[in-house]
Amino acid sequence: MKYETVVGLEVHTELKTKSKIFCGCTTEFGGDQNTHVCPVCLGLPGVMPVLNQKVVEYAIRVGLALNCEILQFNKFDRKNYYYPDLPKNWQTSQYDLPICLNGHIDIEVGGKTRRIRITRIHMEEDAGKLVHSGNTISTSDSSNVDYNRTGVPLLEIVSEPDLRSGEEARAYVEKIRSIIKYLDVSDVRMEEGSLRCDANISVRLMGDEKLGTKTEIKNMNSLTALQKGVEYEAIRQAETLEDGGTIVQETRTWDDSKGMTLSMRKKEAENDYRYFPEPDLVPIVITDEQIEAARQSLPELPDAKMARFQADYGLSEEDSAILTTMRETADYLDEAVKAGADAKTAANWMLGDLSKMVNEANITFADAKVKPAQLAAMIELINKGTISGKIAKKVIVSMWETGKDPQAIVEEQGLVQITDTGAIEEIVKQVIADNPKSVEDFKSGKGKAIGFLVGQVMKLSKGRANPGVVNELLQKHLNA
């Protein structure tokens, strides 16, 4: 590849405070149009904003988790532009003194760890939504504005242009999303818009220091769209340059159905935001105590958890990574271990059968129908020999369906493993009698044939026979 892709991301995340950033309205998603509003978030004449301190608290937590420096004197500014979803025609945001500066996170891509620098994080208010009449915007003859989302607190996390591919961009957003989810300050749902992402993309010849002309790509509403969008745009720019063209600085939109980026507006049409300090709010002064309290409140973050899972639980790096991406998953494992389960066994059940059920139900491990203590109890039944691993696969499905404890299911369904040698020996004798060909094969040195015979015994015992005992008895009778 002759060209190198250079990407910087702006990630917007809606904070899940109870009330909006400058008024008491609820931040709840949805609701009938214009029902979560008041004079303040509607920007009526004469009203004034009052900062929700929870937003500052959350911003500090995110800043610390992303290894940022917290600016103990920061302030709000007005970003002025006209758009009907913005009732005051300015957005209260932070310009030259944002709450967080100079952070970083590490991402893993293709077995390599890369450090991505974070330029800044600032607090701002979300805008409303335009609701167009008709089915499409081109056939729509009027639009309404829904201000429910207006004033929902947002954090904008701006990265340095340190990302080098669509895959890295995706990994970066996944990591940010995972950390914020751990902090429990946002739902980070891309499909509901509580996590949004714009990309600044340029390309340059490999080895060049100087950045190329960038374009900004908007409307990538999923991780897949982000990755594809970055990849498409980098190729488009490289091809343009190869054909002797130049890159025009502009804002482009990702069209998911066409799988391409399309020009939205040129640089000349960009707004001059005329930022200036918000005179209706006083500067924010953050004390050392506030920062310390936020630091204390931080949960164990994915990187630390992953290291611990490897060191304490003896899990592989890959498994640890999967199990720590979501806090709910990691918490589940910790709880199962606390309830007495062997970590590796529990992890295997989680990565296998449980993941499948969780994904099918489209929920997280927090809402898994099998609770961590129930998983631990089931593993205990296997260890004690009460049920076989194979039976356990049936048991866990019943547990999921009924919510019942494994002991109850095993008893109700008569799934207790048969370890009584006498009972198993009867079946073994019968299988040997019924399958002379396989017995012949075995005796003539085809060791594999024993597998079939074991299978027959298990089948006749409805899976309940202890496989170890079956094996032992078969060997004994066949070699007799």
Partner 1 sequence: MTIHELHQKLVAKELSAVELTNAVIAHKAKTEPTVHAYLADSHEQALAVAAKVDEKIAAGEAISPLAGIPGAVKDNICIKDQQATCASRMLENFVPPYNASVVEKLTGEDYVSLGKLNMDEFAMGSSSESSAFAKTTNPWNAEYVPGGSSGGAAASVAAGSAVWALGSDTGGSVRQPASYCGVVGLKPTYGNVSRYGLIAYASSLDQIGPVTRDVTDAAIVLNAISGHDHRDSTSIPGERPDYTKALVNDVKGLKIGMPKEYFGEGLNSEVREALEKAAKVYEGLGAEIVEVSLPTSKYALSAYYIIALAEASSNLARYDGVSYGLRVPADNLVEMSTKTRSQGFGAEVQRRILLGTYVLSSGYYDAYYLKALKARRLIKNEFDAAFEKVDVLLTPTAPNTAFKFGEKINDPLSMYLEDICTTPVNLAGIPGISIPAGFASNGMPIGMQLLAPAMGEEVLFRTAYTFEQACPECNKIASIGEVTL
Interface positions with partner 1 (CB under 8 A): 39, 42-51, 78, 80, 82, 84, 87-90, 145, 272, 274-276, 279-282
In angstroms, rounded to a whole number, what is the distance separating the alpha carbons of residues 216 and 264? 10
Half-sphere exposure of residue 446, counting CA atoms within 13 Å on the CB side?
Answer: 11
Cα dihedral 47, 53, 57, 63, rounded to 10, equals: 30
User: Which tokens go with 114?
Assistant: 């890369």
CB of 88 or CB of 218, closer to partner 1 = 88
Question: With contact defined as beta carbons under 8 Å apart, do 104 and 154 qualify?
Answer: no
Residue position matching structure tokens 């356990």: 392
Question: With contact defined as beta carbons under 8 Å apart, do 6 and 164 qualify?
Answer: yes
CB of 275 or CB of 452, closer to partner 1 = 275
What are the start-end ranges of the H helices in 273-326?
288-297, 302-313, 317-324
How many angstroms from the chain centroid is the CA of residue 157? 17
SS3 sequence of 97-144: CCCEEEEEEEEEECCEEEEEEEEEEEEEECCCEEEECCCCCCCCCCEE
Phi/psi at 101 (5° precision): -135, 160
CB of 50 or CB of 131, closer to partner 1 = 50
CB of 257 or CB of 287, closer to partner 1 = 287
Point out which residues pair with 197 in neighbouring strands: 11
Question: With contact defined as beta carbons under 8 Å apart, do 185 and 18 qualify?
Answer: no
Cα–Cα distance list, 204 to 162, 207, 245 (Å): 13, 8, 14
CB of 127 to partner 1, least distance (A): 13
CB of 277 to partner 1, least distance (A): 8
* Strand, helix or coil for residue 163: strand
CB of 13 to partner 1, least distance (A): 25
CB of 210 to partner 1, least distance (A): 24
Question: With contact defined as beta carbons under 8 Å apart, do 160 and 178 qualify?
Answer: no
CB of 199 to partner 1, least distance (A): 24
In angstroms, rounded to a whole number, what is the distance separating the alpha carbons of residues 189 and 181? 10
CB of 50 or CB of 311, closer to partner 1 = 50
CB of 282 to partner 1, least distance (A): 5
Q: Identify the CA nearest to 145 among candidates 223, 75, 211, 87.
A: 87
CB of 51 or CB of 264, closer to partner 1 = 51
CB of 78 to partner 1, least distance (A): 5
Residue partners of 293: CB distance under 8 A and separation at least 6: none
The string of DSSP letters for 225-278 reads: HHHHHHHHHHHHHHHHHHTT--PPPEEEEEETTTTEEEEEEEGGGS-----EE-
CB of 88 or CB of 344, closer to partner 1 = 88
Task: Name the CA radius of gyration of the chain, rounded.
Answer: 30
CB of 85 to partner 1, least distance (A): 9
Q: Beta-carbon neighbour count of residue 307 at 10 Å?
A: 14
CB of 73 or CB of 82, closer to partner 1 = 82
CB of 92 or CB of 398, closer to partner 1 = 92
CB of 144 or CB of 383, closer to partner 1 = 144
Point out which residues pair with 254 in neighbouring strands: 261
CB of 47 to partner 1, least distance (A): 7
CB of 70 to partner 1, least distance (A): 21
CB of 133 to partner 1, least distance (A): 14
CB of 272 to partner 1, least distance (A): 5
CB of 140 or CB of 359, closer to partner 1 = 140
CB of 276 or CB of 401, closer to partner 1 = 276
